[in-house]
Amino acid sequence: MTNDRAVGIHDLSFRTGSLVLTHAELSKHTGASVAKYHKGLGQQAMSLPAADEDIVTMAADAAAPIIERHGTDRICTLLFATETSIDQSKAAGVYVHSLLNLPSNIRVVELKQACYGATAALQFAAALVQREPEQQVLVLASDIACYDLDSPGEATQGAAAVAMLVSVDPSLVEINTPSGLYTHDVMDFWRPNYRATALVNGKKSMAAYLAAVEGAWHDYQAREGLSIEKIRTVCYHQPFTRMAFKAHRHLLDTAGVEADATATDHAIAPTTHYNEIIGNSYTASLYLALASLLDAEDELDAETLGFFSYGSGSVAEFFTGRVVPGYRAQLRTTAHLEAISRRRDIDYNAYRRVHTQPLPDDGSQHRLPHQTQGSFRLSGMEDHQRIYEAVHVSADIACSKGTHRRLTPTV
């Protein structure tokens, strides 16, 4: 079955880690000027996961309000995008499926291509809904950006999850065609299976990012995309927020438009408010930029937005979306601000302890303290299995408070 109705993002919700380290605190111990972080990177603070939080708990916490509002009757697919996967075989979304007590007649798949994965999931979801308009797709993007202590990337760490419900007749953003695509084999950022933290060549990564902006834009134009003048602003993947400003200036130059500094700042700044106090969240980063823009004061009814998604290694995509008139009625601004404000400040020594306490890898029994501010937690490990539980969950989700969920791996 085909569909001529608009398809796009019907609802959007995000959550972040329960801990926060400010860059003012970080700078006291690294020897770097706080201005290097605040001005050079555009970062004010970084979210960190508590001991009992991971990509699953954050994603479930982000998705729960969507389930509460819309139910599960039409959700046929759950797509989980991440580059910090917890298992080489089992999709993290299967754990979320159980925590949210979703119906069994749902397909669940995990997608990976660095920070680009959530855009792949969004486009796959749009295609599924276009084919079968009666269904909805739940897209989850959840990551914890973690770098070696005292490394150049340390100040860009962060953690967050974004949940999006994709459907026909969306309430927030209609996804347009065409898309401009770009792929290039480059080792700018990668994480081998044997490493817990990523490896990055900073200068090469910035150059690869800007080359991808240019390549994706040229392909978008070759596919008869809109001119840059018809696009209100662009949401960018933000490994650090100043990168979005650099990228926009490069895009304008590529499109043959003079890049006025004041106009660029005015266009991009509203997309950076959440990322600058959360840090890099990999697959979630671009859609945190969208949440920041929608939650901002500017009215966007019927405006066309650009989206640039970049995943190191590298794959990129440029596409546009139209903001649905009346979108403000569906926003979750208060909940988003509460998710940020409830984080607990930690000092530098506590941060280093959090950073250097990995989960055991010998299969032994291990219990974790209850530290999360969220509704779901990783309670421990046993026999190489993660054990999750739901706490403080709305009655609208059929998981009673304190329900223990022992989740065994697939064969």
Q: What letter would DSSP give residue 229?
A: G
Is there a catalytic annotation at residue 83?
Answer: yes
- Rounded Cα distance between 114 and 104, Å, is 29
Catalytic residue among 115, 146, 235, 399: 115
- Whole-angstrom CA distances from 205 to 26, 40, 183, 349, 374 are 24, 16, 14, 30, 34
Is there a catalytic annotation at residue 237?
Answer: yes
Question: Residue 85 belongs to what H/E stretch?
Answer: none
Radius of gyration for the chain, computed over Cα atoms and rounded to the nearest angstrom? 20
What is the SS3 assignment for 124? helix
Q: Is 147 annotated as a binding residue?
A: yes
* Alpha-helical segments (H) within 187-272: 202-222, 241-254, 261-268
- Rounded Cα distance between 29 and 21, Å, is 12
Phi, psi of 240 (to 5 degrees): -155, 150
Return the bridge partners of 165, or none: 11, 138
Phi, psi of 138 (to 5 degrees): -95, 115
Neighbours of 34 (CB within 10 A): 16
Catalytic residue among 25, 53, 83, 174: 83
CA torsion angle for 81, 86, 87, 91 (degrees, to 10)? -30
Question: Residue 4 belongs to what H/E stretch?
Answer: none
Q: Is 280 annotated as a binding residue?
A: yes
Nearest to 209 by CA among 319, 315, 82: 315
Return the bridge partners of 139, or none: 79, 164
- Rounded Cα distance between 330 and 328, Å, is 5
What tokens does 288 get?
């945190």
Q: Is 401 annotated as a binding residue?
A: no
Sign, CA dihedral 156-214-123-335, equals positive
Degrees (nearest 5) of the Cα angle 77, 388, 103? Answer: 30
Phi, psi of 54 (to 5 degrees): -155, -170
Question: Residues 6 or more apart from 375 whose CB is under 8 A from it?
Answer: 60, 61, 64, 390, 391, 392, 393
Catalytic residue among 97, 237, 273, 336: 237
Nearest to 66 by CA among 133, 163, 137: 163
Binding-site annotation: residue ranges for (3S)-3-hydroxy-3-methylglutaryl-CoA = 147, 246, 280
Instruction: List, by residue number, the catalytic residues.
Output: 83, 115, 237
Binding-site annotation: residue ranges = 147, 246, 280
